[in-house]
Amino acid sequence: MILNKDEVIQLHILFTQVREYLQKTGDLDKETIADFFIGYDFINVKPTDVYKTIGQHEDATYLLGSSIVELMEYLNPSLLKNKPYVREPIPKPHLAPVGV
C-alpha cells in the first residue's frame, strides 16, 4: 500500500499524539523518555512542516513509530512473551539493568 503525502502526515500526527500521551502518562522521567526519541528529534521534521518532502515525513514517521515501540517494550517487557514472531528488544546501554 502506497500512502500519499497527506496520509503520511496524518500518520505522523497520530504518532506524535501517541508520543505526547506516553510522555504524560509514563512512569519515567522526562529525560529517560526523551532518550528514546533522540533520532526523531534530531532530524527535526514535525507534522506541521508541510513544505518538507514526503520522504522526510516517511523517515520521521518511521523513526517516531520505532521509538514508540521501543519505549512501550521497555515499559512493559511482557508484551513480548509468547510472541516468537516479535524480535527481542535491544537494551539501551544507558538503561541496562545493574549487573548486566
Whichever domain contains 25, its CATH number is 1.20.1270.110
Specify the pLDDT at position 78. 76
CA distance 65 to 19: 9
| Domain presence at residue 83 | no
Mean pLDDT in each 10-residue stretch from start to end of the chain (100 residues)?
89 95 83 90 94 94 93 79 57 48
| Domain presence at residue 99 | no
Specify the pLDDT at position 81. 65
Specify the pLDDT at position 82. 59
DSSP letters, 48-75, are T-TTS-HHHHHHHHHHHHHHHHHHHHHH
| Domain presence at residue 88 | no
Torsion angles phi and psi, residue 50, rounded to 5: -65, -20
| Domain presence at residue 93 | no
| Domain presence at residue 49 | yes
| Domain presence at residue 92 | no
CB 63 within 8 A of CB 72: no
Question: 3-state DSSP call for residue 35?
Answer: helix
Specify the pLDDT at position 100. 47
- Say how many domains are in the chain: 1
| Domain presence at residue 58 | yes
Domain range enclosing 25 = 5-78
| Domain presence at residue 100 | no
Specify the pLDDT at position 88. 58
Specify the pLDDT at position 86. 55
